[in-house]
Amino acid sequence: MARPVSKVAAPRHAADNERIAAIFEEIADLLDLQNANPFRIRAYRNAARSVRAFGPDIGGLLGSGRELPKLPGIGRDLTAKIGEIVETGSCALLERLRKQVPGTLVELLSIPGLGPKRVQHLYHELGVETPQQLRAAARDGRLDRLHGFGPRMQAKLLQAVDARLQTGHRHLLALAAAPAERVVSYLRRAPGVSEVSVAGSFRRMRDTVGDLDILAAAADPDAVTRHFLGYPEVREVLAGGPARASVVLESGLQVDLRTIDPPAWGAALVYFTGSKAHNIALRRRAQERGFKLSEYGVFKDGRRVAGDTEASVYRILRLAEIPPELREDRGEIEAAEAGRLPRLIEPGDLRGDLHAHSKASDGANSLEEMAEAARAAGLEYLAITDHSRHLRIAHGLDAAALLRQCEEIDALNRCLRGITLLKGAEVDILENGELDLPDEALQQLDLVVGAVHDHFGLSRTQQTRRLLRAMEHRCFTVLAHPFARLIGEREPIEVDMTAVIKAARQRGCALELNAQPRRMDLFDIHCRAAKEQGVPVSIDSDAHRAGDFAQLRFGVGQARRGWLEKDDVLNTRGLQDLRRFLRDCRR
């Protein structure tokens, strides 16, 4: 039975599921810092998980006048708060808690290793309430006074804080996507606008973005600026002029708008998409041919001769149009001149996903729910790769539990239509390079995804030896998130990726490009290196809930930055061809 929720006829803030879940998590964090009732805290954390696991967009659902279905752990009070968030972009409880707790303490909670109890100790005993203050306290020895902050913990905290501060104010690509799409949709309704596009590093699909650059083409820039400054999600206006404006959204993302004269649209889009190195190379090429290239167009003797479209800019410079993801001055101009640009992989080319979790370990959904979500995402097969026993925090499976899951998958495959589940496991690569499950269990699987989840501080030589030994195992199929990084939280492990790629080619196994937004791992340059060595790359969601298959598009963006084509990617193959690869991998 559907739960009633106050009607939201036209949500002004169009909060997506991620934003609703993030608000519930922040409420739980703030309550935790206040030593509130543990059951109340747990209710908000469970609600966040339920919202993330719910596939349909809640904002769109309520905005169309429909009711919110019953979700696990969400009663009348939380349902009402969801309606409040969709309508206003926040909720009164969150705003009240923010006034009661220093906001910087919540930022400390996002640092790995710091829970509410440790943050309370730091704040009350040392006066530490910012990452910068934590770094200073770690460096001058003041953390020695606190129970639970031994040398190893201090070293981990210092590494995590340094990584966070080096990242600066950049945002994960995937988390910037929904706000970007909403702003673009809003600007398309501005009077006289003929074109709107996100530019900058977002358009080039960098794994993180700083400010969001948006271009609009219109003859009346004042009207566009007025419309833009009226956007409901604007928290602060930084600047507003006739052709440009800057605002900060409620999410903390800064958006810079430039309104372009339509005849210069293409040249402006090239210029503001970048990268800087690519633009410099283009301008040099234009000068060599007697042209002047700027964001206003391509000029010859003071007359604009191209610039209304991007294609016209590249065409007059005798180049094929270069996809935005390749514009990094890494040989793309030479390839465009010679007609050797790759036919980059498209999201629709993916036919399966080889890395996903169920609630048997740390996922949120059942096998059947994950299968149905993968089918709804357009996939033909899905590998269930729950964690192995070594990763206790993720409730990893031992050999017996894994074999029981294999039987469940076999039974489920007899009933499923339009999707096939593959039997797999994400098996920990131990410090010595051994795999975390016995051979008898691994041999029952269709594929083994090996991953590093600990001992991140090994030397380059030790870490490389560890991976190479794991890859030698006859059941090994895919090296998951090879650098084990978490953007802004944990630096990549030190590893000789040239040696790893060479070993993968000789062994006949694959490397993963993990599309989880905090990972985005492999790096683009290593995707390209794998391509050049003939090593297949598997673009996987690392899905932990039904809605996570949407992350695959960001992995595809990273793959495009790495010059990957359809045939370079393992999971663009049909199921029969994939099974052949999996069999060959074990020979």
More reliable by pLDDT, 372 or 150: 372
Contacts of 352 (CB under 8 A, 6+ apart): 374, 379, 380, 381, 382, 383, 422, 571, 575, 578
Contacts of 345 (CB under 8 A, 6+ apart): 539, 556, 559, 560, 564, 565, 566, 568, 569, 572
The stretch 484-503 carries a mean pLDDT of 92
The stretch 433-447 carries a mean pLDDT of 96
pLDDT at 393: 65
Consecutive H or E run containing 101: none
Can you give the length of the chain in residues?
587
Q: What percent of the chain has pLDDT over 70?
A: 95
Return the minimum-mean-pLDDT range out of 2-16, 134-148, 171-185, 243-257: 2-16
The stretch 429-453 carries a mean pLDDT of 96
Return the minimum-mean-pLDDT range out of 97-101, 164-168, 565-569: 164-168
More reliable by pLDDT, 486 or 384: 384
Whole-structure pTM value: 0.76
344, amino acid identity:
L
At 314-327, the pLDDT tens digits run 999 999 999 999 99
Whether residue 9 is predicted with pLDDT greater than 70 in this model: the reply is: no
Q: How far apart are CA 236 and CA 581, in angstroms?
A: 54
Whether residue 70 is predicted with pLDDT greater than 80 in this model: the reply is: yes
pLDDT at 73: 84
The stretch 386-392 carries a mean pLDDT of 83
pLDDT at 118: 85
Question: For residue 475, which of 335, 383, 584 has the smallest C-alpha distance?
Answer: 584
Whether residue 576 is predicted with pLDDT greater than 60 in this model: the reply is: yes
CB 415, CB 437: distance < 8 Å: no
In this structure, are strands 234-240 and 193-198 parallel, antiparallel, or unpaired? Answer: unpaired
Could you give all domains of the chain from N- to C-terminal order, each with its CATH number? 17-100 (1.10.150.110), 103-167 (1.10.150.20), 172-338 (3.30.460.10), 347-585 (3.20.20.140)
More reliable by pLDDT, 149 or 275: 275
Phi-psi region of 261 (alpha: psi -120 to 50; beta: other; left: phi over 0): beta
pLDDT at 13: 46
More reliable by pLDDT, 553 or 146: 553
Question: For residue 276, which of 325, 314, 216, 329 has the smallest C-alpha distance?
Answer: 329
Return the minimum-mean-pLDDT range out of 301-305, 352-356, 554-558: 301-305
In this structure, are strands 297-300 and 292-294 parallel, antiparallel, or unpaired? Answer: antiparallel
Whether residue 310 is predicted with pLDDT greater than 70 in this model: the reply is: yes
pLDDT band at 166 (very low <50, low <70, confident <90, very high): low
Q: Taking the CA atoms of the chain, what radius of gyration do you get in angstroms?
A: 25
Q: How far apart are CA 202 and CA 212, in angstroms?
A: 7
Q: How far apart are CA 409 and CA 261, in angstroms?
A: 58
At 49-63, the pLDDT tens digits run 888 777 777 877 787
The stretch 281-286 carries a mean pLDDT of 95
